[in-house]
Structure 1
Amino acid sequence: MAEGLRVTCLDCGQANKVPADKLSAGPKCGVCGAPLMSGKVSEVEFETLAKAERDDVPLVVDFWAPWCGPCRQMAPQFQAAAGQMAGQVRFAKINTQENPVATQRYRIQGIPAFILFRKGREVARAAGARPASDLVAFVRSKLGVSA
């Protein structure tokens, strides 16, 4: 039997166990039915992020604010990167204006800022707007994943 991986639903915050070999098969949350590995960016609140950062599947989080021009410019690039890495890495964003406790906890000093989490650890971080290809290359290099 395949190993069960912890994957938190970014919609309802419920932890789910998903067999590793089923990650690319479109698993859904056992509570709310939302897709767990959709390849889309999910907007999360601090409580959900605090759970999801401990998942077995890597998570890239964009710390942003609606008043930030570079953050708004980065949004389509972040979505494109999420689509390119669907089934391997999940992408979420958190509004620092609405979740100031997240800004403090993760020591965010400027936005847009990106943190890559895996199994409860911060693997790497980057700051500033960038093309999707650069973000994908950054994530792959930090996880040791080839294209």
Structure 2
Amino acid sequence: MSTPLLIPCPHCNGLNRIPAERLGDAPRCGRCKAEVLPAAPFTLTQGNFASQLKGDLPLLVDVWASWCGPCQAFAPTFAQAAVQLQGRCRLGKLDSEANPQLSGQLGIRSIPSLILFRGGVEIARQSGAMPLPQLLAWLRQQGI
């Protein structure tokens, strides 16, 4: 059995120890019993962002706004990526309008913006929407 990975629950922020070989088994949170690795993007906020960075799996953040046409057009692509990357990378959405302080701390200048974190550290950033094959290729370049 491998060393367990620490993965924060996207619902209650509780840290869960999950063996790597069990990532594909729809693991549940030990605290709230919700699925820890949903096949859909989860909501990030000022309140849960720091907790969600603590995980051992990479976190891809889509910074968006409701008034942004390209953001709305990119949302289904991001959701498809969440399905394809389940168990390898966690995908979260950060509403820049609802979280202006966090958006400022992240240095967001344009939306949509994608920020990839590993070990709580930003490792890559991409501005603008892109088709799914291009998104997956960009993530492969980052080792995902």
Say whether the fold is shared (TM-score over 0.5): yes
Q: What's the counterpart of residue 46 of structure 1?
A: 46
Give 1:65's aligned amino acid: A
Structure 2 SS opposite 1:88: coil
Q: Which sections of structure 2, spanning at least 5 residues, go unmatched?
A: none
2: CA distance, partners of 1:77 / 1:141: 18
Q: Quick check: 1:92 aligned with 2:92?
A: yes
Q: What's the counterpart of residue 124 of structure 1?
A: 124
1: CA distance, partners of 2:24 / 2:105: 32
Q: What's the counterpart of residue 62 of structure 1?
A: 62
Q: What's the counterpart of residue 4 of structure 2?
A: 4
Structure 2 SS opposite 1:5: strand
1: CA distance, partners of 2:48 / 2:137: 26
Q: What's the counterpart of residue 34 of structure 2?
A: 34
Q: Quick check: 1:114 aligned with 2:82?
A: no
**Once the two structures are aligned, what percentage of the paired residues are identical?**
38
Give 1:3's aligned amino acid: T
1: CA distance, partners of 2:106 / 2:15: 22
| CA positional deviation for 1:107 | 0.7
Q: What's the counterpart of residue 18 of structure 1?
A: 18
Give 1:69's aligned amino acid: G
Give 1:135's aligned amino acid: L
| CA positional deviation for 1:57 | 0.4
Structure 2 SS opposite 1:47: coil
1: CA distance, partners of 2:133 / 2:43: 21
**Number of positions where the alignment pairs a residue of Structure 1 with one of Structure 2:** 144
Q: Which sections of structure 1, spanning at least 5 residues, go unmatched?
A: none
2: CA distance, partners of 1:50 / 1:139: 22
Give 1:19's aligned amino acid: P
* Two-structure CA RMSD over aligned residues (Å): 1.1
Structure 1 SS opposite 2:117: strand
* TM-score of the two chains, using structure 1 as the length reference: 0.93
